């Protein structure tokens, strides 16, 4: 995205991009409280209700693979406007649904539109910033995204109780329309484009082939995907686990909000600590906090403590850990090859959302009268992220040792 004198300031434009990114997460989570009653409302089984969540995630992640390279070729603005238009119209149609299949379809199209907001927003931030400043803005992205699940679940629960389940979708349609108007006004019209002599499909294949040959990109993407899957297991299972404790739609969001709020705190800490400690320190502190929080849930459950706070309370450590871990990892993925920032953001996004969809689907298939099955799923995904993080750290140290004199390598501090 090229800057010119007629554009808004970097900060103003970046703030708009952060809000666009957060919009998709808000749209995803605002319906979680209503899911408790959709089975009865539409006379549908739990698997069908869960598909309103997983279906959103599948298109939200999958279409980022298309939007990312297309935004590199045709410009960020037009792809973002298309996505906002679709994610505004789909929930309006969903609010009129008379059956679960129609609602699933509306959520699928809503996710398809919101996918453009995520991938274009990340790529455009890469265009605007570099180095620690890019990580700082990625932390702001995380802070905004951390506020969305608690805001969405609390707001969605209250709207469900006072105005009915359809009010959530109507609100998302209105928000999408407002964001469309802001993007139309503020985003630059003239942007860089790819070589018009090269077909966009060939460019897409070339871009993904280039990224597939970058071990650092693949490892960081694995960390992102596995970490996000753990969080989506929590989002997908929390309404049902908390429902087993007698927590209904009106108050379930107050419990779910604890982990995302701690994610906000972790991102805030990351934005302040990145210049002092570096990305490696942030990543490992994040992994340590995440594993500790999930393990504490299991310990309390196996000790027989059956209380909603015994489930969501320790997971505040998971949220804090994710907030420390994701900003430097996100910055690394889009910065590996700057010219392919859109494609890189797409791969990172689709990996997060598709593995998250799988995690959310599995979360719906396990027992929810106890938090143990869902928590074990969270731990499995988290340990996969820890393993990938260890591979990344070892590879970075090996590369640094090759570039340094032999007598300096053993004491070198690697901060990729």
- Residues of the chain below pLDDT 50: 1-7, 406-416
Specify the CATH architecture of the domain 10-189+207-397: Up-down Bundle (1.20)
In degrees, rounded to 5, the angle at the alpha carbon of residue 379 between the alpha carbons of residues 375 and 385 is 145
d(CA 405, CA 59): 49
How far, CA to CA in Å, does 147 sit from each of 224, 292, 337, 365, 412?
A: 19, 22, 30, 27, 38
d(CA 113, CA 142): 20
pLDDT score of 114: 92
Q: Is the pTM of this model over 0.95?
A: no
Q: Is 304 left (phi over 0), alpha (psi -120 to 50) or beta?
A: left
Q: Where are the domains of the chain?
A: 10-189+207-397
């Amino acid at each position: 995205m090229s800057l010119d004198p007629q554009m808004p300031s970097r900060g103003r434009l970046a703030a708009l991009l952060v809000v666009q990114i957060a919009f998709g997460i808000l749209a995803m989570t605002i319906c979680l409280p209503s899911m408790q009653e959709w089975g009865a409302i539409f006379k549908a089984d739990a698997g069908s209700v869960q598909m309103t969540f997983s279906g959103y995630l599948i298109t939200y992640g999958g279409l980022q693979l298309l939007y990312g390279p297309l935004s590199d070729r045709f410009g960020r603005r037009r792809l973002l406007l298309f996505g906002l238009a679709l994610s505004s119209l789909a929930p309006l149609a969903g609010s009129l649904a008379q059956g679960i299949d129609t609602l699933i379809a509306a959520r699928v199209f809503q996710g398809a539109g919101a996918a453009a907001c995520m991938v274009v927003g990340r790529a455009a931030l890469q265009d605007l910033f570099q180095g620690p400043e890019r990580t700082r803005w990625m932390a702001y992205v995380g802070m905004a995204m951390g506020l969305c699940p608690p805001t969405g679940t609390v707001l969605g629960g209250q709207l469900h109780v006072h105005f009915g389940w359809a009010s959530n979708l109507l609100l998302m349609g209105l928000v999408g329309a407002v964001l469309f108007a802001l993007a139309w006004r503020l985003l630059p019209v003239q942007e860089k484009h790819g070589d018009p002599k090269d077909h966009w499909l060939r460019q897409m294949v070339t871009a993904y082939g280039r990224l597939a040959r970058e071990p650092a990109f693949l490892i960081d993407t694995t960390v992102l995907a596995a970490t996000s899957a753990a969080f989506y297991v929590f989002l997908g299972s929390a309404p049902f686990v908390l429902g087993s404790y007698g927590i209904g739609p009106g108050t379930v969001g107050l419990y779910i909000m604890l982990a995302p709020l701690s994610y906000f705190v972790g991102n805030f800490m990351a934005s302040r600590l990145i210049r002092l400690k570096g990305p490696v320190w942030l990543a490992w502190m994040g992994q340590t906090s995440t594993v500790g929080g999930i393990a504490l849930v299991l310990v309390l459950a196996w000790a027989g403590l059956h209380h909603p706070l015994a489930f969501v309370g320790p997971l505040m450590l998971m949220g804090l850990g994710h907030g420390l871990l994701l900003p430097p990892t996100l910055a690394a993925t889009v910065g590996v090859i700057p010219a392919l920032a859109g494609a890189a953001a797409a791969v990172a996004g689709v990996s997060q959302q598709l593995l998250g969809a799988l995690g959310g689907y599995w979360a719906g298939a396990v027992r929810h009268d106890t938090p143990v099955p869902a928590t074990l799923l969270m731990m499995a995904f988290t340990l996969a992220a820890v393993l990938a993080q260890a591979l990344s750290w070892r590879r970075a140290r090996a590369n640094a040792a090759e570039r340094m004199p032999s007598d300096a390598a053993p004491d070198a501090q690697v901060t990729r």
